[in-house]
Every structure is written in structure tokens, then in C-alpha cells.
Structure 1
């Protein structure tokens, strides 16, 4: 992994990672003590209780962690933002990772997931995107568990960078989206700069 930011940046708040919001603080108090137990409970909550907008046919496109929690939905990027906010509130270093995946129509889309520090020098990539038929994710402190396995022969890429904050390209797409359908039909970034 290549970390884009200083070590302390992976614990900080930001425009989208607004973990000081009272609703996020209240939610975090429901999770157990201990970094791994907390990280798993937060993962399970985001994966299972926050719907993926496209899977749920929900037109809303929240981008700030508190909005994702309030609306109960979000794309992979937004669900990752909420998960990172919950982790950082508990003092667990975390960041944003991306994959370039085929969209099945000859193009590509950027998929967001999360890197989490699970030991003194150990990071894993986890995907709180949410399950659906044929797609299952889970928490692991031992290995990366992305929802999608990339196919390099098809031009897909697992980007090695871990960002302290979501890249501007991703936030801009979320902020400017009229609705989820229009964003997913051409407004999503297809790769990182």
C-alpha cells in the first residue's frame, strides 16, 4: 500500500469524514470496546444497515458521513466514508482505496473501499459496500476482503494508494450528482488521476 498523507492524517476529520457529528458519536457508543471488536461491529453496521443506493434503487447521493447515516443509504464511496468516520472516531487509523472495474459496457467505473489498520504495522482492505445475490463481503483482520476481484487482463486495476481523505474527483462527482441513476450512468469517475 502507498499512503497518500501523513500518518496522523489517517485519524483526522474532514469535510466528508465529519465524525464529530452527534449522530455518528451516538452510533459509535453502541459498538463494543477494543479496536478489532469495534472495527468489526462498525463494518457490519455499515454493510448491513446502510443500503447501497443502486441495489436499493434509491435516488439519493449523500457524500458526508453524517448524511449517509441520516439517510441510511449511499454508494460504495459514501458507505466507505461513513465507515472511515466511525473508525477514526474510535482512534483506528483508516483510509480510502479504489479499484477500476469494468462496467460491462466497454468502460470502467471506480469502486471505493477502505483500508484499516488492524495491528501495529498491519493494514487490510475491507469493503462495506453491502451484500447482494452473488456478492458477499465480511470483516477480516487477516486478509484483504474486497467485494470484487480485479481482472488485469480486462484492464481492471487494484490501485495501491490509500488516501487520507476521498480524492476531490470522487467528492465532486458525489456533490454534483442530480441523482444516483444519472451518476452511475456516466457521472462516476472511471479512474484515479
Structure 2
């Protein structure tokens, strides 16, 4: 774990999960980022590519060590908040931009009835987003909910310009409560895998199967069925 100030070699290095030296991550970054752009421009390009180019799906998400590698996420093209944040952070590091993973517990008021049942309420442990070092300061970025999913849930799309924090909105487009941040666990140079899995299994015992995958389903089907 690291503090969210300053820079550190750990925020730039490849890791077991942020394997940006792998071909799938290199290819994803190459096709997503403009050549010759400034670090901030490239970070914004990458943010949009991860947000809208990697499908957000909780159900069936692979939370094993292999499933959470950035190279796997780039190849599979889908995942939940941890997967998308891992790919974004890995891609940033490949561009020479320091990046860390942030884990927090949140209250999500707009999840589907089935997901609330599996989670055991509206509090979700170990939500993940990123901390990015641009222009001599750390800013937060959340390339999680893609544009089409935001339309279905009637929440504003989260943009990121590299100068200000991009965190989930507290309310949806109809004024209903959306997301509350309850507890920030810290910023990490790599996925604290054992800690995250243990906390998810303790807090949401019905969510994960024995293979470290979220149970099967479809969030889009859930959204269509919700009242």
C-alpha cells in the first residue's frame, strides 16, 4: 500500500497484474492512444478506450489471478471495476504515467434486485478505481461504466480530462441517489489479491463461486427486468 502523494517507482513498474509489457496490453494501448500526444492527452484517450471499449459486466467476472491480469482483460474485453481499472493503470504505466489502484467500499443505490440479493444489500466492498499522476498532481479516474450502460441506468457518463477527479456521481439523472463512498482502503501499486478476495467472500458470500468467478448472469438483463 502507498500513500496518494508524490511519485514512486512502484507506480510505474510492471507487476503480476499490471503486466503492461505483455502483447495484449501493448496492442490495446497502441490502437487506443494518439501518437505524439501529451501525457494528459494520451491518458484521456486511454480512459475513453477502457471506459467504452471494455464492456462492464459483473456477472461471470473472473477474479482469479489469471483473470485479473491486464493482459487477460485486454484480450477478453469485459470485466467489472477491478478489471477495467487494472487495464487502465497498466496502460498508463506503459506510457510513463504513474498510476495506482484505489479500493473503497461504496453504497450503490441503483443496482438490480438480483445483484442486491447476491451482494446482501446495497453496500459493495472493494470497489476499484485509479489514481493518476499528471501535471505534478494525483487525480482520480473511474473508467468503469461504459456509455451504453449509463444510458440504461440513467446516470451521467463519467468523463475525465486529466485535470480533475472523475468519480461516480452521487445522484442519477432523475435525482435519485446513486453512489456513496463509505470507506477508502487505500492506494496500491498492485492488486492486493488475497485481501480483496477474502473481503469479498466475507462481505458477499453468495457472489463468488469456488473458482473465484462471480456467478453467471447479465447486468443488462437485470436492468431490463428491474422495476
Q: TM-score, normalised by structure 2?
A: 0.67
Task: Tell me the CA shift for residue 177 of structure 1.
Answer: 4.3
Q: Which of these residues, 111, 124, 128, is aligned with residue 127 of structure 2?
A: 111
Matches within 5 A, 1:9-48: 9-30=10-31, 31-32=33-34, 33-48=37-52
Secondary structure of 2:128's match? strand
Task: Tell me the CA shift for residue 86 of structure 1.
Answer: 0.4
Deviations 1:50-102 (A, max 9, x none): 01122xx5x24131101001111111001000001100001000001122112
Deviations 1:13-62 (A, max 9, x none): 111101011121122223113201110111001000101122xx5x2413
Task: Tell me the CA shift for residue 166 of structure 1.
Answer: 1.6
User: Is 1:126 aligned to residue 141 of structure 2?
Assistant: yes
Structure 2 unaligned regions, length at least 5: 110-120, 171-178, 201-207, 217-227
Does the Cα contact within 8 Å between 2:12 and 2:98 map onto a contact in 1?
A: yes
Which has the higher Rg, Structure 1 or Structure 2?
2
Matches within 5 A, 1:143-154: 143-149=164-170, 151=180
The Cα RMSD (Å) is 2.8
Aligned equivalent of 2:96: 91
CA distance in 2, matches of 1:87, 1:125: 13
CA distance in 2, matches of 1:106, 1:114: 22
Task: Tell me the CA shift for residue 179 of structure 1.
Answer: 2.7
CA distance in 2, matches of 1:175, 1:4: 37
Q: Which of these residues, 46, 67, 70, is aligned with residue 65 of structure 1?
A: 70
Aligned residue-pair number: 174
Does the Cα contact within 8 Å between 1:42 and 1:86 map onto a contact in 2?
A: yes
Aligned equivalent of 2:213: 179
Does the Cα contact within 8 Å between 2:102 and 2:128 map onto a contact in 1?
A: yes
Task: Tell me the CA shift for residue 4 of structure 1.
Answer: 9.1
Task: Tell me the CA shift for residue 175 of structure 1.
Answer: 11
